[in-house]
Amino acid sequence: MKLIMLGAPGAGKGTQAKKIAAKYGIPHISTGDIFRENIKGNTQLGLKAKGYMDQGLLVPDELVLELIMDRFKAPDCKDGYVLDGFPRTIPQAKALDEALEKNNDRVEYAIDVDVADQVIINRMAGRRACLNCGRTYHVDTLKSKVEGICDYCNTELVLRDDDKPETVKKRLEVYHEQTQPLLDYYRKKGILHSVDGTGDIDKIYDEIIHILKA
């Protein structure tokens, strides 16, 4: 099972991606994780990516795609994967499809977690992050055992700058301009399925599983 998770930042697609991956025994693949793994492992691709990131530059699409296709070769991807955070633009989506077609492969599902902007702005304002281990929490829906402290490494949790309302609004503007057109792209391919992302996390998950079983 090979699927892509779509949705605005803060829509909850990462949470659902992890639950789906766990159920089907397939990896949850995010571009951030791929960058970190390759940089930590000092791979040739990782060093290339680090060169751009150290300069504060975006990693070029060609290199991101190369990293993703390399990740797909890993044994844990033999039964599929949940791709989260890529593609973000139409050119990236087309490049991914072309790369997969060369291996007689294709994406089977594109799941869009649909949430209104204002709901996302309010939701992100409640997020808290551990800058040490990267885990995230929420003041209402995913509380740490000790308020303001990470359960795993006892580090203080913070509201990241990119979760602040003014930053989220800008991120949503970019999403609507660059990423939302992907919905039409995958709709035309007949693999797009949208779910309402404003409800209970488990109900959203159940709806996605129903789609995947159909």
Question: Of 7, 208, 202, 4, whose CA–CA distance to 117 is shortest?
Answer: 7
Catalytic residues: 13, 88, 127, 160, 171
Over residues 14-34, the pLDDT tens digits come to: 999 999 999 999 999 988 888
State the average pLDDT over residues 169-198: 92
Over residues 104-160, the pLDDT tens digits come to: 999 999 999 999 999 999 888 898 999 999 888 999 888 999 999 999 999 999 998
- For the domain bounded by 2-27+74-115+177-213, which CATH number is listed? 3.40.50.300
Question: Of 35, 30, 38, whose CA–CA distance to 82 is shortest?
Answer: 30
So what's the pLDDT on residue 191?
96
State the average pLDDT over residues 31-43: 87
Average per-residue pLDDT for the chain: 91
Residue spans of the domains in the chain: they are: 2-27+74-115+177-213
Of the chain, the percentage scoring pLDDT greater than 70 comes to: 100
Task: With a cut of 80, say whether residue 57 has pLDDT above it.
Answer: no
